[in-house]
Amino acid sequence: MPKENSFLEKALLVQVETTKVRRILNFENSLEEFRDLARSAGANVLDEIEGKQELASPRYFIQKGKLEEIKQAVHKNKIGLVIFNHALSPSQERNIESYLKARVLDRTGLILDIFARRAFSHIGKLQVELAQLSHLSTRLVRGWSHLERQKGGIGLRGPGETQLETDRRLIGNRIKALKKKLVKSHNQKSLNRYARKKGKNKIVALVGYTNAGKTTLFNALTGGDEYQADQLFATLDSVTRKNLSPGSRAILFTDTVGFISEIPTELIESFKTTLDDLRSADLLIHLVDINDPEKELKQKEVTRILKDLNVDKIPQLLVNNKIDHLSEKKTTRAGVSTP
Ligand SMILES: Nc1nc2c(ncn2[C@@H]2O[C@H](COP(=O)(O)OP(=O)(O)OP(=O)(O)O)[C@@H](O)[C@H]2O)c(=O)[nH]1
Ligand SMILES: [Mg+2]
């Protein structure tokens, strides 16, 4: 087990294999990515519980025996947060929480949390808030019915309106306002200035799975000093800069947010503003980490997301990255290990 870090939130990770509905990455690699996600969210992973079942069970997602096992581990290590590498329905999340007496976060919630930690720009923050509210609004529909009994709240509601209706209305209003703000901020962004001059300057966008090395290449090509790190979702905001190489024509490179398998739809929807920059590109450079055991599947996922974003007709160059790493001995990555 890793040393306890009192500054981080103590967490337990849960991943089960559903043999009748397989996920995109294989079990081990999916677990590895899950550990990276948990680490990126600042979790101090004290335990992991794995399981295997045919299908998700409706009430708790996992089987009761497994849930009891988790409960005991939670109790033993005084863990306050249990993270599932699965999308849980609002009622499953609530049922598990009341059984375990611990906070439960699903894969979508985890990814949203990382995004919230990484959003520094004005547009980034707006996009994350939009994604979180969209996620919350789906939870309100079925999950918060207990709020319907609460009434009151000066100046908040119209006649006969329940708390749930008020919450929905307020969230709906905020979502609408956020979308408006996003469009406005986007129009003011520098890329549009560049786009107007686009006749002269070609735009090349770097795309790929998270951690493929987009920002590192972007910095090398443009002399930029954007944040690059061995972390999932190090980049959230698109940045565009001119190439460095003297003598050649000016080319504008755009660095973008990375993709991930089973990406929450709320995120794709909310990040349309940033991802809109891809539409102005003349060429997409699709970076693939050649050392990644799941590179083919990840490449397929990126291709699928690009199609979803309607940018699959833009010429694309597939580039194998981190080839220097190929000859190096494979090192094991940090996860739950014994010191
Ligand atoms: N060995 C090796 N490592 C690289 C190379 N390019 C990037 N890296 C490392 O890979 C990690 C991820 O790099 P980033 O450039 O942040 O990756 P990214 O695709 O921008 O990731 P996100 O923004 O999180 O989606 C960092 O630790 C880099 O140092 C490379 O060519 N060789
Ligand atoms: Mg990056």
* 261-287 residue pLDDT tens: 888 777 888 887 778 778 889 999 999
325 lines ligand 1 (CB under 6 A): yes
CATH topology of domain 190-325: Rossmann fold (3.40.50)
With b for 16 or more beta-carbon neighbours within 10 A and e for fewer, the 252-264 pattern comes to bbbbbbbbbbbbb
Range 316-336 average pLDDT: 71
Q: How far is the CA of 1 from the centre of ligand 2 (A)?
A: 30
- For ligand 1, atom 13, name the residue with the nearest CA: 213
Residue 210 alpha carbon, nearest atom of ligand 1: 25
Q: Which letter does DSSP use for residue 293 in this model?
A: T
**Angle separating helix axes 163-188 and 122-143, nearest 10 degrees:** 160
The whole-angstrom separation of Cα 120 and Cα 280 is 24
210 lines ligand 1 (CB under 6 A): yes
> Does 216 score more than 80 pLDDT?
yes
Give the residue, out of 114, 211, 259, 301, with the most ligand 1 atoms within 8 A of its beta carbon, to mutate for a pocket test: 211
Candidate from 17-31, 37-51, 196-210, 230-244 with smallest mean pLDDT:
196-210
258 lines ligand 1 (CB under 6 A): yes
Residue 325 alpha carbon, nearest atom of ligand 1: 1
230 lines ligand 1 (CB under 6 A): yes
108 lines ligand 1 (CB under 6 A): no
What confidence tens digit (pLDDT) does each residue in 36-56 have? 999 988 899 999 999 999 999
Ligand nearest to the CA of 298: 1
Q: What does the radius of gyration of the chain's CA atoms come to, in whole angstroms?
A: 22
- Determine the Cα angle at 176 with ends 171 and 178, to 5°: 90
233 lines ligand 1 (CB under 6 A): yes
The whole-angstrom separation of Cα 48 and Cα 27 is 14
Give the residue, out of 39, 216, 238, with the most ligand 1 atoms within 8 A of its beta carbon, to mutate for a pocket test: 216
Greatest Cα pair distance, the chain, in angstroms, is 70
- Enumerate the H helices of 41-145 as residue ranges: 64-77, 90-100, 107-118, 122-143
235 lines ligand 1 (CB under 6 A): yes
Nearest Cα neighbor of 58 from 138, 132, 142 is 142
What confidence tens digit (pLDDT) does each residue in 69-128 have? 999 999 999 999 999 999 998 889 989 999 999 999 999 999 998 888 888 888 889 988
Sorted by sequence, the CB contacts under 8 Å of residue 130 that are 6+ apart come out as: 175, 178, 179, 182, 269, 270
> Cβ-count burial of 110 within 10 angstroms (0-12 exposed, 13-18 middle, 19+ buried)?
buried
Per CATH, the number for 9-105 is 3.40.50.11060
324 lines ligand 1 (CB under 6 A): yes
146 lines ligand 1 (CB under 6 A): no
Ligand nearest to the CA of 209: 1
- For ligand 1, atom 29, name the residue with the nearest CA: 229
The whole-angstrom separation of Cα 240 and Cα 218 is 9
| Residue 144: both structure tokens together | 């918060």
The pLDDT value given to residue 161: 60
202 pairs with which residues across the strands? 251
212 lines ligand 1 (CB under 6 A): yes
Nearest Cα neighbor of 322 from 271, 288, 282, 277 is 288
CB-side exposure of 11: number of CA atoms within 13 Å? 27
| Residue type at position 140 | L
| CB distance 13 to 39 below 8 Å | no
**Angle separating helix axes 107-118 and 27-40, nearest 10 degrees:** 40
Report how far apart, in Å, the C-alpha atoms of 212 and of each of 35, 235, 242, 243 are. Answer: 17, 11, 21, 20
Give the residue, out of 228, 236, 274, 321, with the most ligand 1 atoms within 8 A of its beta carbon, to mutate for a pocket test: 228
Q: How far is the CA of 215 from the centre of ligand 1 (A)?
A: 7
| CB distance 309 to 263 below 8 Å | no
**Residue count of the chain:** 339
| Residue type at position 126 | L
**Angle separating helix axes 64-77 and 90-100, nearest 10 degrees:** 50
The whole-angstrom separation of Cα 187 and Cα 205 is 19
> Does 12 score more than 60 pLDDT?
yes
- φ and ψ of 59, to 5 deg: -75, -50
The whole-angstrom separation of Cα 160 and Cα 187 is 40
Q: How far is the CA of 75 from the centre of ligand 1 (A)?
A: 38
Sorted by sequence, the CB contacts under 8 Å of residue 309 that are 6+ apart come out as: 268, 272, 275, 278
The pLDDT value given to residue 317: 97
The pLDDT value given to residue 31: 94
